[in-house]
Amino acid sequence: MKLTNDSYVISMGTKNFTERYRRDKAGWLKLSARGRKFRMTAEQVLNHLLPALAGIKPGLTVAVKHREPRVSRSSSAKPLTRAVRKASRASSARA
């Protein structure tokens, strides 16, 4: 189990909206309730979360979920796929 920053999704909101924060290779990403994406620094993420955690804003809920990071496709798979396509085209051309 991986326990790094990119293994978590932070949800914050009320009964009417939910914002999600997650970390990827480029940094922190905020997914707004309307579906917009915003890049953020770690300090900005804390500035959004700390008032909710301190209880200053009543009605805000915060939930943290663990997830396994997405595995990106390796670049070595692309040439293999092309080779398979070429081979299948060549065999279908012969038939």
Question: What pLDDT was estimated at residue 84?
Answer: 59
Question: What pLDDT was estimated at residue 38?
Answer: 95
DSSP for 5-73, please give it: GGGEEEEEE-SS-EEEEEEETTEEEEE-TTS-EEEE-HHHHHHHHHHHHHTSSTT-EEEEEE-PPPPPP
Question: What pLDDT was estimated at residue 7?
Answer: 81
> From the CB of residue 21, how many other CB atoms can be counted at a distance below 10 Å?
21
* pTM, 2 dp: 0.65
Question: Cα(45)–Cα(51) distance, rounded to whole angstroms?
Answer: 11
Task: Kindly list the domain boundaries of the chain, sorted by start residue.
Answer: 5-70
Q: Residue-wise pLDDT tens for the chain (95 aa)?
A: 777 777 889 999 988 989 999 998 899 999 999 999 999 999 999 999 998 889 888 888 899 998 876 666 555 445 555 655 666 666 666 65
